């Protein structure tokens, strides 16, 4: 276990905020099942029956008719698959069962459901390709939430054959080969069109690379009584986070609405601080000041009349360390600082960024070159007293931790937590599954679903939004999570207005922020604009 994991494991699990939908990892789900069976008297066979029933109903949603191939492993996940096959056969549907294990190795409740299976005996793995011929849907019931590591042997072979099949795949609880607790994929893993998970969604279904394997996620009620243990440190950000946002009052002033300082804007990089400034204003900040090199001041100030500017000493190209005191003087008004948009990577800019980050007495968001200035020096930020939020993408986090970006992407949850622990800061690892990690071990996961944000400048927009929320008084974890939610919702709103995600630019996202801040916009189908709330429960209830 890495050192930072040791640190987190020794701490009590922090309580999740009400605006986070708990995502239950494998140990927690084992505790839930054990509690239901041992303390509440729910039979394990009953839990398996309900799980299989949930999957059988979902099969009908994927393909209303045609043969169904169910590929089963030897554990309880395979037992769920046997229930699916039995129910479909009882309804008159052709259900072909393939067993990627020896029947003699199956025990417990799974053995009982194998023996209950009417009709044809399960086919061995050698008959799998024949069983897939003409299938309308394939049910992956190989590996469950307890799986970690690399799928091997017959299971790995079965996964490869499933992925090569033309039919859509429905995974039971978690796509086989995906670590349900982290989203890590070490080897072969099923690529599902839909995953039916039980009781509550799992982190690995919402965190990449596991998220990319899960497809649409549905939650099935398997009869766990209310009051089950749910000690989770990871949660999906829901629209309820909007309830945390401060509102302007009739007696408010531009200063009480929040003052944002922005330090950035070297020669050739002046667009970034302007976008950060606009985003801060649209996210509710009442007063925004850009601290920029004097040589760039007129250019930056000219396009945005609402923006205040302060010129800093510069060498004709950009920042020098002598400008730090001017920014600190401006910080005397309080508020929050956005450090890095358009800062540049010249030696003077690096010294400026590291010195200002160390000395800034107010809440500070580091992005772009504010982050790059700390490559290999992440631990320096732990000495800060004021709240700190870092907003790296995988490449920037890799530079901070001195790792390859591909390694970051392989274990996103692990590395964002490591960075947060080292910096004693909230770290926002950007992506479709943006992760917001607090140094206390909490992680908020964005439901994503906003491809419109894949365009230049949207990172500067996110920085401005988070800085505005910090300036309005939110704590750093809530500000970062709310900023991420608003940013994604604004991207979706901009795409709707323009008709296509591909036409959205960062300025469109900024313009959509006030609507996103007000409420979750309905999508075209009349549902919510929050992908996390679009993961429906098969029983028709609310996502847990």
pLDDT band at 525 (very low <50, low <70, confident <90, very high): very low
- Report whether 29 contacts 145 (CB < 8 A): yes
Size of the chain, expressed as the number of residues it contains: 544
pLDDT, position 542: 33
Instruction: Name the packing angle between helices 76-90 and 44-62 (round to 10°).
Output: 60
- With a cut of 90, say whether residue 252 has pLDDT above it: no
Confidence of residue 302 (pLDDT cuts 50, 70, 90): confident
pLDDT value of position 538:
56
Mean pLDDT of 312-339: 94
- Sheet containing 68-72: give its strands across: 123-124, 95-99, 68-72, 137-141, 169-172, 194-198, 216-220
Average of per-residue pLDDT across 513-535: 59
Residues 6+ apart with CB under 8 A from 371: 340, 390, 391, 392, 396, 399, 400
Is residue 377 a contact partner of residue 387, using CB atoms and an 8 Å limit?
A: no
Give pLDDT, residue 526: 33
Distance CA 462, CA 346 (A): 24
Check pLDDT > 70 for residue 65: yes
Interstrand relation of 169-172 and 287-293 (parallel, antiparallel or unpaired): unpaired
Q: What is the mean pLDDT of the chain?
A: 92
pLDDT at 480: 98
Report domain extents, the chain.
Answer: 13-233, 254-521
pLDDT category at 255 given cuts 50, 70, 90 is confident
Distance CA 76, CA 50 (A): 13
The reported pLDDT for the residue numbered 519 is: 59
CATH of domain 13-233: 3.40.50.10260
| pLDDT confidence tier of residue 482, bands split at 50, 70 and 90 | very high
Nearest CA-CA partner of 413 in 232, 543, 535: 232
Q: Say if residues 382 and 424 touch (Cβ distance below 8 Å).
A: yes
Predicted TM-score (pTM) of the model is 0.93
Mean pLDDT of 175-195: 97
Range in 42-51, 294-303, 483-492 the model is least confident about: 294-303
More confident of the two residues 229 and 211: 211
Matching CATH topology for 13-233 and 254-521? Answer: no
> Cβ of 38: how many Cβ atoms within 10 Å?
9
Considering only residues 94 and 544, tell me which one the structure prediction assigns the higher pLDDT: 94
Residue partners of 392: CB distance under 8 A and separation at least 6? 367, 371, 400, 419, 427, 428, 429, 430
Q: Yes or no: say if 123 and 92 are a contact pair by the CB < 8 Å rule.
A: no
Encode burial over 464-496: b for 16+ CB neighbours within 10 A, e otherwise.
Answer: bbbbbbbbbebebbbbbbbbbbbbbbbbbbbbb
Burial of 135 (0-12, 13-18, 19+ CB in 10 A): buried
Residue 311 is predicted with a pLDDT of: 95
Question: If you compute the radius of gyration of the chain from its CA atoms, what whole number of angstroms results?
Answer: 26
Nearest to 200 by CA among 229, 175, 177, 178: 229
pLDDT number for residue 517 = 84
DSSP secondary structure string for all residues of 7-72: HHHTSPPPPPPTTEEE---HHHHHHHHHIIIIIS---HHHHHHHHHHHHHHHHHHH-SSS-EEEEE
User: Poorest-confidence range of 89-103, 289-303, 488-502?
Assistant: 289-303
Average pLDDT value for residue range 478-498: 97
240 prior amide bond cis, ω within 30: no
Please check the confidence at residue 14 and state whether its pLDDT lies above 90: no
Q: Is the pLDDT of residue 431 over 70?
A: yes
528: pLDDT strictly greater than 60:
no
Mean pLDDT of all residues in 144-173 = 97
Q: Where are the beta strands (DSSP E) in 93-242?
A: 95-99, 123-124, 137-141, 169-172, 194-198, 216-220, 234-237
Percentage of residues in the chain with pLDDT exceeding 90?
86
Cα 474 to Cα 403: distance, rounded to the nearest angstrom: 32
Task: Return the CATH class of domain 254-521.
Answer: alpha beta
pLDDT in tens, 359-414: 999 999 999 999 999 999 999 999 999 999 999 999 999 999 999 999 999 999 99
pLDDT above 90 (res 541): no
Question: Strand 443-445 to strand 435-437: parallel, antiparallel, or no bridges (unpaired)?
Answer: antiparallel
Whether the predicted pLDDT of 520 surpasses 70: no
**Predicted local confidence at residue 544, as pLDDT:** 26
Return the residue matching tokens 């008084």.
Answer: 473
| pLDDT band for position 230 (cuts 50, 70, 90) | confident
Give 223's DSSP letter: -
- Tell me, what's the pLDDT at 4? 41
Report the share of the chain in percent with pLDDT over 70: 93
Q: Return the pLDDT at 93.
A: 97
């Amino acid at each position: 276990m890495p050192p930072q994991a040791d640190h987190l494991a020794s701490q009590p699990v922090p309580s999740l905020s009400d605006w986070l939908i708990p995502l239950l990892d494998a140990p927690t789900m084992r505790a839930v099942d054990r509690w239901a069976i041992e303390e509440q008297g729910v039979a394990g066979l009953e839990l398996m029956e309900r799980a299989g029933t949930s999957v059988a109903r979902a099969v009908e949603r994927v393909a209303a008719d045609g043969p169904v191939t169910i590929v089963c492993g030897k554990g309880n996940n395979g037992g769920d698959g046997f229930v699916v096959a039995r129910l479909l056969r009882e309804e008159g549907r052709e259900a072909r069962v393939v067993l990627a294990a020896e029947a003699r190795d199956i025990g417990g409740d799974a053995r009982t459901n194998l023996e209950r299976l009417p009709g044809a005996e399960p086919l061995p793995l050698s008959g799998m390709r024949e069983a897939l011929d003409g299938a309308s849907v394939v049910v992956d019931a190989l590996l469950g939430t307890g799986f970690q590591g690399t799928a091997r042997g017959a299971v790995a072979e079965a996964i490869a054959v499933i992925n090569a099949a033309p039919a859509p795949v429905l995974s039971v609880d978690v796509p086989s080969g995906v670590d349900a607790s982290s989203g890590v994929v070490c080897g072969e893993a099923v690529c599902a069109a839909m995953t039916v998970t039980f009781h509550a969604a799992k982190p690995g279904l919402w965190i990449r690379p596991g998220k990319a394997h899960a497809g649409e996620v549905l939650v099935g009620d398997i009869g766990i009584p209310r009051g089950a243990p749910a000690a989770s440190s990871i949660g999906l950000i829901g629209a309820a986070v909007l309830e945390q946002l401060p509102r302007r009052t009739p007696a408010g002033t531009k200063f009480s609405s929040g003052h944002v300082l922005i330090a950035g804007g070297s020669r050739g990089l002046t667009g970034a601080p302007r976008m950060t400034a606009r985003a801060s204003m649209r996210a509710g900040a009442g007063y925004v000041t850009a601290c920029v090199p004097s040589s760039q001041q007129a250019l930056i100030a000219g396009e945005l009349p609402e923006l205040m500017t302060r010129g800093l000493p510069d060498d004709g190209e950009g920042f020098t360390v002598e400008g730090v005191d001017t920014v600190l003087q401006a910080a005397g008004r309080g508020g929050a600082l956005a450090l890095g948009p358009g800062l540049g990577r010249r030696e003077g800019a690096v010294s400026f960024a590291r010195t200002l980050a160390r000395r800034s007495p107010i809440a500070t968001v580091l992005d772009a070159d504010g982050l790059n200035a700390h490559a290999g020096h992440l631990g320096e930020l732990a000495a800060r007293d004021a709240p700190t939020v870092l907003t790296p993408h995988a490449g920037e986090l890799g530079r901070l931790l001195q790792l390859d970006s591909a390694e970051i992407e392989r274990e996103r949850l692990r590395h964002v937590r490591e960075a947060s622990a080292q910096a004693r800061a909230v770290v926002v690892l950007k992506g479709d599954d943006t992760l917001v990690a607090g140094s206390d071990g909490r992680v908020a996961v964005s439901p994503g679903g906003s491809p419109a944000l894949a365009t230049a400048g949207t990172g500067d927009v996110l920085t401005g939004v988070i800085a505005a929320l910090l300036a309005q008084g939110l704590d750093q974890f809530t500000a970062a999570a709310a900023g991420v939610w608003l940013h994604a919702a604004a991207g979706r709103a901009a795409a709707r207005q323009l008709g296509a995600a591909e036409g959205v630019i960062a300025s469109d996202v900024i313009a959509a922020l006030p609507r996103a801040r007000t409420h979750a916009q309905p999508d075209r189908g009349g549902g919510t604009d929050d992908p996390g709330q679009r993961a429906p429960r098969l029983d028709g209830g609310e996502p847990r």
